[in-house]
C-alpha cells in the first residue's frame, strides 16, 4: 500500500533536516504522482527546490499549493517569498498581504511583506509594515531588527541606533540587535559606543562568526584591515548552495562587467591562463565560457563554494587557500588576474595589490571590483576616509584610495569606472570596477 501524503511529507522533512536532498526529492516526486494537487506535498517540494536554488520550480509548486487551497496562508506566504526572490515583488505583495490579513500575528509573514515592498522600491511602506508588526508583537526581535536594518540601508544611522536602544529598553533585543546598533553607531562615527554595542552582541552570541567579525572591527577601521578568514569561510560555506540564486535575485552585474574587460583584453593579446581570486561558485568563468579564453584557475577560502565551481567543469584547477598568502607562496606568472567581489573582505588594499603585481607578467592586467565608500547625510566618509566596514561585514573603498593604492603598488590604471554592482532594498549598490596593468620594463 502506498504511504499516506502526511507520511511522505514527514519523511521528506526528515530527509531535509539530515541534508539528504536527493532522498527528499525522490519521496516528494513519488507522492505527487499519486496526489498532484496535495497542498502539503507541493509546499514541501517548493521548500526543497528553493533550497536547491531552483526558484522557478519552487515558485510553480507554491503556486499549485495556493490553487489547491485558497485559504492556506502558509502557501500564500511561501509563494510571496519566492516571487520576491525571482524579481516579481508586486505579485509577491498581493500574496503576502492576503497572508498577513488572514494571520496578522504571524511575524514571518509581516517581515516577508516588508521585504517585498522594499524590493518594489517603497521603503516607506515597508517601514510602516514593520512598525505596525512591532505594535502587534512588541517582543518580536526579528521585526525590530528588520526595521533597524532598513534604517541602516537608508543611511539613517541615528534612527537605527535609537531603535536598537529602544529594543534594549523594551527587553526585545538579541545579539543581532546589538550588532546592528554597533554597526549604526560606527557608521555615524560614534566608535566608542559602537565598541560597547559589539561587546554586548558578543556576550549573547560568542560563537557567531558574523558577530565576531563586527566585534573584531569594532567600527574602528584602522584596527581591522580585513575580515577574518574564519568569518569568510563560515559565511560562504553556509551560503554556497543558495549563493547564485540569491545573487540573481539582486540583479548581480559584476561577472558581466568583468566579461566586458576580458573581451577587450582578448582582442588585443593572447591572454592565456587566467587566475580567478575569490572565485566562489565560478560565476566569472561562467560569464565568459563562450569566449576563447582561459583555462581558469580558481582560489577560494570556502570548500563548499569550490565544490559548486567544480561542478561547472570550467576550471582547470581549483585551490582552497588564503589570500594573499597563496600568491606569495606561488611562483607562476599570469597575464590576467581577476578579483570580482573579493576585495570587499579587505579594508587595506596595499598587501593584496603587491601580491597580485608579483604574480603578473609585464603588461599583464588585474581586473577588480570594490564597493564604493560614500558619504553619509552629513557629507562625511566613514572609517578612516579611505575604507570602512559597511553593513553585512563588507568593506567599501574610496575611489581616491583605490587609485593611490594601485599607484603605490606600481600599477598603471587603465580604467576606473563607477558601476552599479547589484540592487538591494530597491536601490542600486554603487561600486568601482578597475583595470590595472603591470607596466613593461621597456615602456
* Bridge partners, 413 (sequence order): 436
Residue 82's pLDDT is: 92
Residue 1's pLDDT is: 37
Distance separating alpha carbons of residues 201 and 95, to the nearest angstrom: 35
Q: Can the peptide bond before residue 17 be classed as cis, meaning omega within 30 degrees of 0?
A: no
What are the tens digits of pLDDT across the range 325-360?
999 988 899 999 999 999 988 989 999 999 999 999
240 contact partners, CB below 8 Å, separation of at least 6: 281, 302, 304, 305, 307, 308
Alpha helices in 190-253, H assignment, sequence order:
191-204, 209-217, 229-237, 240-249
DSSP-derived secondary structure for 63-103: HHHHHH-TT-HHHHHHHHHHHHHTT-HHHHHHHHHHHHHH-
Rounded to the nearest 5°, which phi and psi values hold at 228? -60, 145
Residue of 172, 108, 113 whose CA lies nearest to 144: 172
What are the tens digits of pLDDT across the range 13-24?
666 566 666 776
For residue 99 the three cell numbers come to 497572508
Alpha helices in 103-239, H assignment, sequence order:
107-119, 123-136, 141-153, 157-169, 175-187, 191-204, 209-217, 229-237
Note if the pTM is more than 0.75.
no
Residue 188's pLDDT is: 75
CB 433 within 8 A of CB 423: no
Rounded to the nearest 5°, which phi and psi values hold at 339? -135, 85
Residue of 231, 151, 282 whose CA lies nearest to 395: 231
User: Which residues of the chain fall short of a pLDDT of 70?
Assistant: 1-21, 24, 28, 31-33, 189, 191, 207-224, 227-231, 233-250, 390-393, 424-426, 442-443
308 contact partners, CB below 8 Å, separation of at least 6: 240, 241, 243, 244, 280, 281, 282
Residue 222's pLDDT is: 38
Q: Can the peptide bond before residue 213 be classed as cis, meaning omega within 30 degrees of 0?
A: no
Domains within the chain, CATH numbers bracketed: 138-219 (1.25.40.10), 240-437 (3.40.50.150)
Residue 392's pLDDT is: 61
Distance separating alpha carbons of residues 236 and 443, to the nearest angstrom: 42
What sign does the dihedral 125-128-130-132 (CA atoms) show? negative
38 contact partners, CB below 8 Å, separation of at least 6: 5, 31, 32, 68
What sign does the dihedral 47-115-175-192 (CA atoms) show? positive
Amino acid at each position: 500500500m502506498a504511504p499516506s501524503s502526511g507520511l511522505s511529507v514527514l519523511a521528506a522533512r526528515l530527509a531535509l533536516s539530515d541534508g539528504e536532498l536527493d532522498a527528499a526529492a525522490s519521496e516528494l516526486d513519488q507522492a505527487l504522482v499519486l496526489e498532484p494537487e496535495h497542498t502539503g506535498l507541493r509546499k514541501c517540494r517548493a521548500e526543497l527546490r528553493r533550497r536547491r536554488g531552483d526558484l522557478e520550480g519552487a515558485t510553480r509548486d507554491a503556486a499549485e499549493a495556493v490553487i489547491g487551497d485558497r485559504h492556506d496562508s502558509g502557501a500564500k506566504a511561501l509563494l510571496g517569498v519566492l516571487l520576491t526572490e525571482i524579481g516579481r515583488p508586486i505579485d509577491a505583495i498581493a500574496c503576502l498581504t492576503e497572508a498577513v490579513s488572514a494571520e496578522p500575528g504571524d511575524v514571518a509573514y509581516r517581515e516577508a511583506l516588508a521585504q517585498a515592498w522594499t524590493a518594489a522600491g517603497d521603503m516607506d511602506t515597508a517601514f510602516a509594515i514593520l512598525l505596525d508588526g512591532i505594535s502587534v508583537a512588541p517582543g518580536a526581535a526579528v521585526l525590530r531588527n528588520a526595521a533597524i536594518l532598513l534604517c541602516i540601508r537608508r543611511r539613517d544611522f541615528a534612527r537605527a541606533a535609537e531603535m536598537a536602544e529602544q529594543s534594549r529598553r523594551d527587553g526585545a533585543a538579541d545579539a543581532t540587535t546589538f550588532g546592528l546598533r554597533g554597526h549604526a553607531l560606527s557608521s555615524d562615527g560614534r566608535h566608542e559606543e559602537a565598541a560597547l554595542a559589539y561587546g554586548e552582541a558578543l556576550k549573547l552570541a560568542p560563537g557567531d562568526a558574523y558577530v565576531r567579525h563586527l566585534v573584531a572591527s569594532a567600527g574602528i577601521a584602522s584596527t581591522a584591515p580585513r575580515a577574518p578568514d574564519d568569518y569568510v569561510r563560515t559565511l560562504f560555506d553556509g551560503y554556497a548552495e543558495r549563493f547564485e540564486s540569491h545573487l540573481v535575485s539582486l540583479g548581480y552585474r559584476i561577472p558581466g562587467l568583468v566579461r566586458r574587460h576580458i573581451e577587450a583584453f582578448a582582442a588585443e593579446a593572447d591572454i592565456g591562463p587566467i587566475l580567478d581570486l575569490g572565485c566562489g561558485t565560478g560565476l566569472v568563468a561562467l560569464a565568459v565560457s563562450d569566449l576563447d579564453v582561459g583555462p581558469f584557475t580558481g582560489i577560494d577560502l570556502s570548500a563548499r563554494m569550490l565544490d559548486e565551481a567544480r561542478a561547472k567543469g570550467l576550471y582547470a584547477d581549483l585551490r582552497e587557500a588564503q589570500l594573499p598568502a597563496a600568491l606569495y607562496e606561488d611562483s607562476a606568472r599570469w597575464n590576467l588576474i581577476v578579483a570580482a567581489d573579493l576585495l570587499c573582505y579587505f579594508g587595506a588594499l596595499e598587501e593584496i595589490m603587491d601580491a597580485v603585481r608579483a604574480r603578473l607578467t609585464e603588461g599583464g592586467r588585474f581586473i577588480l571590483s570594490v564597493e564604493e565608500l560614500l558619504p553619509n547625510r552629513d557629507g562625511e566618509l566613514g572609517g578612516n576616509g579611505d575604507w570602512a566596514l559597511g553593513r553585512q561585514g563588507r568593506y567599501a573603498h574610496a575611489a581616491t584610495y583605490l587609485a593611490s593604492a594601485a599607484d603605490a603598488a606600481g600599477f598603471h590604471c587603465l580604467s576606473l569606472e563607477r558601476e552599479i554592482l547589484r540592487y538591494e532594498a530597491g536601490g542600486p549598490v554603487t561600486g568601482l570596477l578597475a583595470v590595472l596593468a603591470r607596466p613593461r620594463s621597456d615602456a
